């Protein structure tokens, strides 16, 4: 039954995806022959943002859009995601315009690199960019606000940075942004300063220092200023014709929204824990099906999400070790040593699981504490009680009668009556029995007990 329901659910999901894809193709088919595709980045730049930008830049090229406009308002993001977006912008066969808007928005950290990589860099009044110093996060790289930014800013460009790894990352980032600045003839010196000293600029200052190309109050003002402007795209000079151009806004679709949810570190962590809980419960109670099915799905989703995030594999190993130790405490009582060690390993692994200090990519400590306590209660207490209950003697049913002691009610040879648990039972024995003689139940055949005298077994 559950297999048939699963098949129907899968068919329904496939039909839904197919209908969504057809609707999207029809919407693209209705786009005017000359149009500008507008995309938006309004949060931390991560795997979901990369997927959204990459797919829509490809759609813009396939549908021969005149240009792509990316509205930026971001505090930064992951280095790997940022570089993938920049690669797609550089290789785009159509102009890409990055516009920091509306007023009060910012293109900090990774957003500054994307702005430098775009063919046209524009900002609205009362916006800012900069603070592009990379954050030390192990092997993945990232950009965001961190105390180390301030320390390195105070050191200055000619003084050694806080540690060799930071020095290496900052040099790499500085060379990268200088290359982007040179590609579009923008201010290389300030670009390096944004990396080494975490410098920031307002829109007016950025225009004065040749960091951006345009200040525009809104999208229509931006398009008016772009009319007739020449830009180089893939080595060829292109003249923008934006007068009266139609704008097609492409909001994140279901795939991007789903990816944004599961790649949230806290959500990925919750999925991982549900997956572990489900599989442990399934192994403890084979045949339950539901816990194993839900646990398997959640674990696969968590693994997919985690491979897109900058994770520390030592963190995953510590989480699994912690779970194993807590389960071991339930099987092999150790006065709490295994359980306490499991909780400690679990908490440390959870804290270091996401290997980044980038804002928006951390796991809440309250969530970790909650899972640590619930895991300890579940694995040590619940599974411990389950194991103990299996070792308790049977207290009901046919099996409970085996080995029980009764008293013969009347003398009999072959068949007679005995009293067990204040109940009278028909019994059979291969030797004569006397009244009040004690017997032990050896087998049950329907409602007939097979008994044997206790004296023959030496059990007086």
Active site residues per annotation: 109, 168
Give the orientation angle of helix 365-376 with respect to helix 265-284, to 10 degrees.
10
Which tokens in the block code for residue 326?
């807590």
């Amino acid at each position: 039954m559950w297999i048939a329901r699963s098949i129907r659910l899968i068919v329904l999901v496939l039909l839904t995806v197919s209908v969504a894809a057809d609707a999207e193709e029809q919407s693209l088919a209705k786009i005017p022959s000359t149009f500008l595709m507008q995309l938006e980045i309004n949060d931390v730049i991560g795997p979901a943002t990369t997927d959204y930008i990459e797919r829509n830049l490809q759609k813009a090229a396939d549908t021969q859009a005149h240009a792509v406009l990316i509205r930026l308002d971001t505090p930064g993001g992951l280095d790997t995601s940022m570089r993938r977006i920049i690669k797609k912008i550089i290789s785009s066969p159509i102009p890409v315009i990055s516009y920091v808007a509306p007023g009060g928005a910012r293109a900090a950290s990774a957003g500054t690199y994307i702005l430098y990589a775009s063919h046209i860099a524009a900002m609205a009044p009362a916006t800012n960019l900069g603070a592009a110093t990379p954050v030390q996060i192990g092997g993945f790289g990232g950009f965001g606000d961190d105390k180390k930014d301030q320390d390195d800013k105070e050191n200055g460009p000619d003084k050694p940075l806080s540690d060799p790894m930071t020095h290496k990352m900052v040099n790499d980032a500085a060379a990268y942004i200088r290359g982007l600045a040179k590609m579009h003839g923008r201010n290389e010196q300030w670009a390096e300063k944004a990396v080494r000293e975490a410098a920031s600029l307002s829109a007016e200052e950025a225009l004065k220092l040749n960091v951006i190309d345009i200040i525009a109050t809104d999208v229509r003002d931006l398009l008016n200023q772009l009319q007739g402007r020449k830009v180089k795209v893939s080595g060829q000079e292109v003249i923008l014709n934006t007068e009266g151009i139609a704008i097609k806004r492409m909001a994140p679709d279901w795939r991007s929204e789903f990816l944004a949810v599961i790649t949230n570190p806290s959500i990925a962590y919750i999925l991982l824990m549900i997956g572990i809980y489900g599989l442990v419960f399934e192994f403890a109670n084979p045949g339950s099906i539901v816990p194993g099915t839900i646990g398997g799905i959640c674990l696969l989703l968590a693994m997919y999400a985690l491979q897109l995030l900058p994770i520390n594999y030592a963190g995953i190993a510590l989480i699994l070790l912690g779970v194993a130790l807590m389960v071991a405490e339930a099987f092999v009582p150790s006065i709490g040593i295994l359980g306490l060690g499991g909780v400690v390993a679990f908490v440390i692994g959870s804290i270091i699981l996401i290997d980044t200090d980038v804002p928006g990519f951390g796991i809440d400590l309250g969530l970790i504490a909650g899972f640590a306590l619930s895991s300890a209660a579940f694995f040590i207490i619940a599974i411990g009680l389950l194991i103990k209950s299996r070792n308790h003697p049977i207290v009901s049913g046919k099996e409970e009668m085996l080995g029980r002691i009764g008293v013969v009610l009347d003398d009999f040879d072959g068949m007679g009556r005995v009293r067990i648990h204040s109940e009278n039972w028909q019994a059979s024995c291969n030797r004569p029995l006397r009244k009040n003689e004690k017997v032990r139940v050896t087998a049950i055949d329907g409602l007939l007990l097979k008994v044997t005298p206790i004296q023959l077994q030496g059990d007086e």
